[in-house]
Amino acid sequence: MAYTTIDKPSDYFNTVLYTGNGNQRNITGVGFQPDWIWGKNRSATGSHNVIDSVRGVSKIIYTNLTDAEATDTSSFNAFGSDGFSVGSQSNVNGNGNSIVAWNWKAGTSFTNDASATGIGSIDSAGSFNNDAGFSIVSYTGNSTAGATVGHGLSVAPKMILIRRREAGSWIVGHGSLGWTKLLKLNETTAVDTNIGAWNNTDPTSSVFSLGTFGNLNASGGTYVAYCFAEKQGYSKFGSYTGNGNADGTFVYTGFKPAFVLIKVTSTTNDWEIHDNKRGSSNVINAILQPNLSDAESTSGREIDFLSNGFKLRNSNSQNNLSGGTFIYMAFAENPFTTSTGVPACAR
Protein backbone atom coordinates (compact mmCIF):
# COMPACT_ATOMS: atom_id res chain seq x y z
CA MET A 1 0.00 0.00 0.00
CA ALA A 2 1.13 3.55 -0.72
CA TYR A 3 1.05 5.38 2.61
CA THR A 4 1.47 9.12 3.02
CA THR A 5 2.25 11.82 5.55
CA ILE A 6 -0.35 14.11 3.92
CA ASP A 7 -3.88 12.85 4.54
CA LYS A 8 -5.51 16.08 3.33
CA PRO A 9 -3.74 17.28 0.16
CA SER A 10 -6.08 20.28 -0.14
CA ASP A 11 -4.19 21.81 2.79
CA TYR A 12 -1.33 22.44 0.33
CA PHE A 13 -2.85 22.48 -3.16
CA ASN A 14 -6.37 23.39 -4.21
CA THR A 15 -8.25 24.51 -7.30
CA VAL A 16 -11.04 27.08 -7.08
CA LEU A 17 -13.60 27.98 -9.72
CA TYR A 18 -15.60 31.21 -9.81
CA THR A 19 -17.57 33.43 -12.16
CA GLY A 20 -16.06 36.83 -12.88
CA ASN A 21 -17.95 40.07 -12.35
CA GLY A 22 -15.43 42.68 -13.46
CA ASN A 23 -15.27 44.31 -10.04
CA GLN A 24 -12.89 44.22 -7.08
CA ARG A 25 -13.81 41.15 -4.99
CA ASN A 26 -12.56 38.49 -2.62
CA ILE A 27 -12.36 34.85 -3.71
CA THR A 28 -12.54 32.32 -0.86
CA GLY A 29 -12.68 28.57 -0.51
CA VAL A 30 -9.00 27.82 -1.12
CA GLY A 31 -8.62 26.52 2.42
CA PHE A 32 -5.31 28.25 3.11
CA GLN A 33 -3.42 31.43 2.29
CA PRO A 34 -1.83 30.69 -1.10
CA ASP A 35 1.75 31.59 -1.98
CA TRP A 36 1.59 30.70 -5.68
CA ILE A 37 -1.54 31.41 -7.72
CA TRP A 38 -1.98 30.53 -11.39
CA GLY A 39 -5.21 31.85 -12.89
CA LYS A 40 -6.92 31.57 -16.28
CA ASN A 41 -10.14 32.76 -17.89
CA ARG A 42 -11.81 29.56 -19.08
CA SER A 43 -14.44 31.25 -21.23
CA ALA A 44 -12.33 33.64 -23.28
CA THR A 45 -8.94 34.15 -24.87
CA GLY A 46 -6.51 35.61 -22.35
CA SER A 47 -3.11 34.98 -20.82
CA HIS A 48 -2.44 32.69 -17.87
CA ASN A 49 -1.65 35.03 -14.93
CA VAL A 50 0.91 33.89 -12.35
CA ILE A 51 1.73 35.59 -9.05
CA ASP A 52 3.52 34.55 -5.88
CA SER A 53 4.12 35.89 -2.39
CA VAL A 54 7.89 36.20 -2.92
CA ARG A 55 7.77 38.63 -5.86
CA GLY A 56 4.61 40.33 -4.54
CA VAL A 57 0.91 40.13 -5.29
CA SER A 58 0.90 42.79 -8.03
CA LYS A 59 3.83 41.27 -9.99
CA ILE A 60 2.37 39.29 -12.90
CA ILE A 61 4.10 36.92 -15.29
CA TYR A 62 2.34 34.93 -17.99
CA THR A 63 2.96 31.26 -18.81
CA ASN A 64 2.15 31.75 -22.50
CA LEU A 65 4.33 34.84 -23.03
CA THR A 66 7.97 35.86 -22.74
CA ASP A 67 7.11 39.44 -21.71
CA ALA A 68 8.80 41.08 -18.76
CA GLU A 69 7.08 40.90 -15.39
CA ALA A 70 4.26 43.45 -15.19
CA THR A 71 2.97 45.42 -12.23
CA ASP A 72 -0.82 45.14 -12.34
CA THR A 73 -3.08 45.80 -9.36
CA SER A 74 -6.18 45.06 -11.47
CA SER A 75 -5.30 41.35 -11.61
CA PHE A 76 -4.71 39.53 -8.32
CA ASN A 77 -4.23 42.22 -5.69
CA ALA A 78 -4.23 40.62 -2.22
CA PHE A 79 -3.57 37.31 -0.51
CA GLY A 80 -6.21 36.24 2.02
CA SER A 81 -6.30 33.63 4.76
CA ASP A 82 -8.72 31.53 2.66
CA GLY A 83 -7.98 32.78 -0.85
CA PHE A 84 -7.21 36.02 -2.64
CA SER A 85 -8.61 39.25 -4.05
CA VAL A 86 -8.98 40.13 -7.72
CA GLY A 87 -9.54 43.39 -9.56
CA SER A 88 -11.19 44.11 -12.88
CA GLN A 89 -8.70 42.44 -15.24
CA SER A 90 -10.52 40.08 -17.62
CA ASN A 91 -7.90 37.29 -17.40
CA VAL A 92 -8.91 36.63 -13.78
CA ASN A 93 -12.28 38.41 -13.38
CA GLY A 94 -13.94 38.87 -16.78
CA ASN A 95 -17.59 39.77 -16.29
CA GLY A 96 -19.73 36.64 -16.65
CA ASN A 97 -16.72 34.47 -17.48
CA SER A 98 -15.76 31.17 -15.83
CA ILE A 99 -12.36 31.45 -14.11
CA VAL A 100 -10.02 28.85 -12.62
CA ALA A 101 -7.23 29.47 -10.12
CA TRP A 102 -4.74 26.81 -9.03
CA ASN A 103 -3.23 27.49 -5.59
CA TRP A 104 -0.15 26.18 -3.79
CA LYS A 105 1.00 26.80 -0.23
CA ALA A 106 4.62 27.48 0.76
CA GLY A 107 4.44 29.78 3.78
CA THR A 108 7.82 29.78 5.56
CA SER A 109 10.17 32.57 4.50
CA PHE A 110 13.90 32.02 4.10
CA THR A 111 16.98 34.04 3.16
CA ASN A 112 20.25 32.39 2.22
CA ASP A 113 23.49 34.38 2.25
CA ALA A 114 25.57 31.88 0.29
CA SER A 115 28.94 33.13 1.48
CA ALA A 116 27.84 32.99 5.13
CA THR A 117 26.02 29.66 5.11
CA GLY A 118 28.16 27.83 2.56
CA ILE A 119 24.96 26.75 0.81
CA GLY A 120 25.26 27.56 -2.89
CA SER A 121 27.26 30.28 -4.60
CA ILE A 122 24.36 32.68 -5.37
CA ASP A 123 22.32 34.34 -2.64
CA SER A 124 18.65 33.37 -2.62
CA ALA A 125 15.46 34.16 -0.75
CA GLY A 126 11.96 32.81 -0.86
CA SER A 127 9.28 30.73 0.80
CA PHE A 128 9.16 26.98 1.36
CA ASN A 129 7.06 24.14 2.70
CA ASN A 130 8.97 20.96 3.40
CA ASP A 131 5.82 18.99 4.25
CA ALA A 132 4.50 19.59 0.72
CA GLY A 133 7.90 19.66 -1.01
CA PHE A 134 7.41 23.10 -2.57
CA SER A 135 9.48 26.27 -2.60
CA ILE A 136 9.51 29.63 -4.38
CA VAL A 137 13.01 31.02 -4.86
CA SER A 138 14.22 34.45 -5.96
CA TYR A 139 17.82 34.96 -7.11
CA THR A 140 20.06 37.13 -9.30
CA GLY A 141 22.20 35.48 -11.99
CA ASN A 142 25.98 35.76 -12.34
CA SER A 143 26.60 34.03 -15.72
CA THR A 144 29.02 31.58 -14.10
CA ALA A 145 29.04 27.93 -15.09
CA GLY A 146 28.56 25.74 -12.03
CA ALA A 147 26.74 28.39 -10.00
CA THR A 148 24.43 26.94 -7.36
CA VAL A 149 21.29 28.30 -5.71
CA GLY A 150 19.85 27.30 -2.35
CA HIS A 151 16.25 26.17 -2.87
CA GLY A 152 15.05 26.03 0.74
CA LEU A 153 13.91 22.38 0.71
CA SER A 154 15.38 19.49 2.66
CA VAL A 155 15.27 17.05 -0.28
CA ALA A 156 16.23 17.36 -3.94
CA PRO A 157 13.57 18.77 -6.28
CA LYS A 158 12.26 16.51 -9.04
CA MET A 159 10.89 19.39 -11.11
CA ILE A 160 11.89 23.07 -11.37
CA LEU A 161 10.19 25.87 -13.32
CA ILE A 162 12.24 29.07 -13.72
CA ARG A 163 11.28 32.37 -15.29
CA ARG A 164 13.51 35.40 -15.86
CA ARG A 165 11.58 38.41 -14.61
CA GLU A 166 12.94 40.94 -17.14
CA ALA A 167 11.79 38.80 -20.12
CA GLY A 168 12.41 35.29 -21.35
CA SER A 169 11.10 31.78 -21.77
CA TRP A 170 9.85 29.59 -18.95
CA ILE A 171 12.48 26.87 -18.45
CA VAL A 172 11.37 23.49 -17.12
CA GLY A 173 13.73 20.94 -15.64
CA HIS A 174 12.38 17.48 -14.79
CA GLY A 175 14.01 14.45 -13.20
CA SER A 176 12.63 12.12 -15.87
CA LEU A 177 14.46 14.12 -18.56
CA GLY A 178 17.78 14.31 -16.75
CA TRP A 179 19.58 17.54 -16.00
CA THR A 180 21.18 18.03 -19.41
CA LYS A 181 17.75 18.72 -20.92
CA LEU A 182 14.94 21.24 -20.69
CA LEU A 183 11.48 22.11 -21.93
CA LYS A 184 9.85 25.52 -22.31
CA LEU A 185 6.43 26.00 -20.73
CA ASN A 186 5.55 28.79 -23.16
CA GLU A 187 6.41 26.72 -26.27
CA THR A 188 5.38 23.52 -28.03
CA THR A 189 8.97 22.43 -28.68
CA ALA A 190 10.26 18.94 -27.94
CA VAL A 191 12.88 18.36 -25.27
CA ASP A 192 16.13 20.24 -25.85
CA THR A 193 19.63 19.18 -24.80
CA ASN A 194 21.35 22.21 -23.28
CA ILE A 195 24.42 21.67 -21.09
CA GLY A 196 24.44 25.43 -20.36
CA ALA A 197 21.13 25.19 -18.50
CA TRP A 198 21.58 22.96 -15.42
CA ASN A 199 25.35 22.49 -15.84
CA ASN A 200 24.77 18.72 -16.30
CA THR A 201 24.23 18.44 -12.54
CA ASP A 202 21.33 16.93 -10.59
CA PRO A 203 19.76 19.08 -7.86
CA THR A 204 20.78 18.15 -4.33
CA SER A 205 18.95 18.37 -1.02
CA SER A 206 20.13 21.98 -0.67
CA VAL A 207 20.86 23.51 -4.12
CA PHE A 208 20.14 23.40 -7.84
CA SER A 209 22.91 24.06 -10.36
CA LEU A 210 23.12 26.49 -13.28
CA GLY A 211 25.26 26.98 -16.33
CA THR A 212 25.52 30.18 -18.36
CA PHE A 213 22.19 29.91 -20.21
CA GLY A 214 20.66 33.40 -20.20
CA ASN A 215 17.12 32.26 -19.44
CA LEU A 216 18.46 30.86 -16.15
CA ASN A 217 21.66 32.67 -15.24
CA ALA A 218 22.41 35.92 -17.08
CA SER A 219 24.65 38.32 -15.19
CA GLY A 220 22.39 40.69 -13.26
CA GLY A 221 19.23 38.93 -14.43
CA THR A 222 16.54 38.42 -11.79
CA TYR A 223 14.69 35.10 -11.62
CA VAL A 224 11.94 33.23 -9.84
CA ALA A 225 12.12 29.45 -9.46
CA TYR A 226 9.30 27.11 -8.45
CA CYS A 227 10.81 23.92 -7.02
CA PHE A 228 8.96 20.65 -6.38
CA ALA A 229 10.08 17.55 -4.51
CA GLU A 230 8.02 14.36 -4.56
CA LYS A 231 5.90 13.52 -1.52
CA GLN A 232 4.39 10.05 -1.44
CA GLY A 233 0.64 10.17 -1.69
CA TYR A 234 0.62 13.88 -2.54
CA SER A 235 2.80 14.71 -5.57
CA LYS A 236 4.47 12.87 -8.43
CA PHE A 237 6.74 14.03 -11.27
CA GLY A 238 7.25 11.22 -13.74
CA SER A 239 6.99 10.03 -17.32
CA TYR A 240 4.99 7.60 -19.43
CA THR A 241 4.81 6.22 -22.98
CA GLY A 242 1.67 6.72 -25.06
CA ASN A 243 -0.11 3.84 -26.80
CA GLY A 244 -2.14 5.81 -29.35
CA ASN A 245 -5.56 4.33 -28.69
CA ALA A 246 -8.69 5.14 -26.67
CA ASP A 247 -7.86 2.42 -24.14
CA GLY A 248 -4.90 4.54 -23.21
CA THR A 249 -1.88 4.28 -20.98
CA PHE A 250 -2.44 4.04 -17.23
CA VAL A 251 -0.04 6.10 -15.10
CA TYR A 252 0.41 5.10 -11.45
CA THR A 253 0.85 8.02 -9.05
CA GLY A 254 -0.10 6.51 -5.68
CA PHE A 255 -3.05 8.90 -5.27
CA LYS A 256 -6.27 10.12 -6.84
CA PRO A 257 -5.16 13.20 -8.81
CA ALA A 258 -6.51 16.69 -8.32
CA PHE A 259 -4.25 18.26 -10.99
CA VAL A 260 -2.18 16.88 -13.86
CA LEU A 261 0.11 18.84 -16.20
CA ILE A 262 1.30 16.88 -19.28
CA LYS A 263 3.78 17.52 -22.12
CA VAL A 264 5.00 15.24 -24.90
CA THR A 265 8.79 15.46 -24.97
CA SER A 266 9.63 13.40 -28.06
CA THR A 267 7.95 15.80 -30.52
CA THR A 268 6.32 19.21 -30.70
CA ASN A 269 2.86 19.73 -29.22
CA ASP A 270 1.03 21.78 -26.61
CA TRP A 271 1.13 21.43 -22.85
CA GLU A 272 -2.17 20.61 -21.15
CA ILE A 273 -3.73 20.85 -17.68
CA HIS A 274 -6.56 18.71 -16.25
CA ASP A 275 -8.02 19.14 -12.77
CA ASN A 276 -10.71 17.64 -10.56
CA LYS A 277 -12.83 20.80 -10.34
CA ARG A 278 -13.26 21.48 -14.06
CA GLY A 279 -13.85 17.75 -14.51
CA SER A 280 -15.97 16.53 -11.60
CA SER A 281 -16.50 13.00 -12.98
CA ASN A 282 -14.84 10.69 -15.48
CA VAL A 283 -14.15 11.06 -18.27
CA ILE A 284 -12.47 14.46 -17.82
CA ASN A 285 -12.22 16.37 -21.08
CA ALA A 286 -11.75 20.02 -20.03
CA ILE A 287 -8.21 21.20 -20.80
CA LEU A 288 -6.29 24.44 -20.65
CA GLN A 289 -2.92 24.86 -22.35
CA PRO A 290 -0.21 26.88 -20.55
CA ASN A 291 1.57 27.83 -23.78
CA LEU A 292 -1.62 29.26 -25.32
CA SER A 293 -4.05 32.05 -24.46
CA ASP A 294 -6.95 29.95 -25.79
CA ALA A 295 -10.17 29.44 -23.86
CA GLU A 296 -10.86 26.04 -22.35
CA SER A 297 -11.23 23.17 -24.83
CA THR A 298 -13.21 19.96 -24.44
CA SER A 299 -12.21 18.09 -27.58
CA GLY A 300 -10.23 14.89 -27.88
CA ARG A 301 -7.85 14.77 -24.90
CA GLU A 302 -9.98 12.77 -22.45
CA ILE A 303 -8.49 11.41 -19.24
CA ASP A 304 -9.75 9.48 -16.19
CA PHE A 305 -8.70 10.30 -12.63
CA LEU A 306 -8.54 7.00 -10.70
CA SER A 307 -7.89 6.17 -7.04
CA ASN A 308 -4.20 5.48 -7.70
CA GLY A 309 -3.35 7.39 -10.88
CA PHE A 310 -4.69 8.57 -14.20
CA LYS A 311 -5.54 6.86 -17.48
CA LEU A 312 -5.56 8.35 -20.98
CA ARG A 313 -8.88 7.77 -22.75
CA ASN A 314 -8.13 9.01 -26.27
CA SER A 315 -5.77 8.58 -29.21
CA ASN A 316 -4.76 12.25 -29.47
CA SER A 317 -1.04 12.83 -30.05
CA GLN A 318 -1.01 15.67 -27.50
CA ASN A 319 -1.22 13.29 -24.54
CA ASN A 320 -1.24 9.72 -25.96
CA LEU A 321 0.94 9.59 -29.08
CA SER A 322 1.78 5.97 -29.89
CA GLY A 323 5.34 5.42 -28.69
CA GLY A 324 5.61 9.04 -27.60
CA THR A 325 7.39 10.00 -24.38
CA PHE A 326 5.59 12.31 -21.96
CA ILE A 327 6.41 14.00 -18.66
CA TYR A 328 3.85 15.01 -16.09
CA MET A 329 3.38 16.91 -12.83
CA ALA A 330 0.55 15.66 -10.59
CA PHE A 331 -0.93 16.65 -7.22
CA ALA A 332 -3.40 14.65 -5.14
CA GLU A 333 -7.04 14.95 -4.25
CA ASN A 334 -6.68 11.94 -1.94
CA PRO A 335 -3.81 9.56 -1.23
CA PHE A 336 -4.35 5.97 -2.43
CA THR A 337 -4.01 4.94 1.21
CA THR A 338 -3.97 7.37 4.14
CA SER A 339 -1.48 7.32 6.99
CA THR A 340 -3.99 5.24 8.96
CA GLY A 341 -4.51 2.71 6.16
CA VAL A 342 -7.83 4.02 4.78
CA PRO A 343 -8.01 3.53 0.97
CA ALA A 344 -9.19 6.19 -1.45
CA CYS A 345 -12.16 5.50 -3.72
CA ALA A 346 -12.24 5.85 -7.50
CA ARG A 347 -14.70 8.25 -9.08
pLDDT digits (tens, 9 = 90+) for 272-285: 999 999 988 999 99
Mean pLDDT of 55-59: 98
More confident residue, 237 or 336: 237
Question: DSSP class of residue 294?
Answer: P
Cβ contact 28:79 at 8 Å: no
Q: Which of 64-78, 97-111, 201-215, 329-343 has the lowest mean pLDDT?
A: 329-343
Q: Given this model, what pLDDT does residue 239 score?
A: 98
- The residue type of 173 is G
Give the integer Cα–Cα distance in Å for 52 and 106.
10
Q: If you write DSSP's letter for every residue of 19-41 in order, what string do you get?
A: E--SS-EEEE-SSS--SEEEEEE
How large a percentage of the chain has pLDDT more than 70?
97
For the question of whether the overall pTM of this predicted structure is more than 0.95, the answer is yes
* Confidence category of residue 41, pLDDT binned at 50, 70, 90: very high
Task: Indicate whether 164 pLDDT > 80.
Answer: yes
* Distances 73 to 9, 87, 220 between C-alpha atoms, Å: 30, 7, 26
Q: Given this model, what pLDDT does residue 23 score?
A: 98
Cβ contact 324:342 at 8 Å: no
The radius of gyration of the chain from alpha carbons, rounded to an integer in Å, stands at 19
Give 231-280 pLDDT, tens digit per residue. 999 999 999 999 999 999 999 999 999 999 999 999 999 999 999 999 88
Task: Indicate whether 346 pLDDT > 70.
Answer: no
Give 197-210 pLDDT, tens digit per residue. 999 999 999 999 99
Q: Given this model, what pLDDT does residue 245 score?
A: 95
Ordered by start, the domain boundaries in the chain are: 10-104, 109-228, 235-335
Give the integer Cα–Cα distance in Å for 228 and 155.
9
Question: DSSP class of residue 296?
Answer: P
Mean pLDDT of the chain: 96
For CA atoms 66, 71, 76, 81, give the dihedral sign: positive
Q: If you write DSSP's letter for every residue of 3-19 in order, what string do you get?
A: --S-S-GGGTEEEEEEE
For residue 132, the tally of other CB atoms under 10 A from its CB is 24
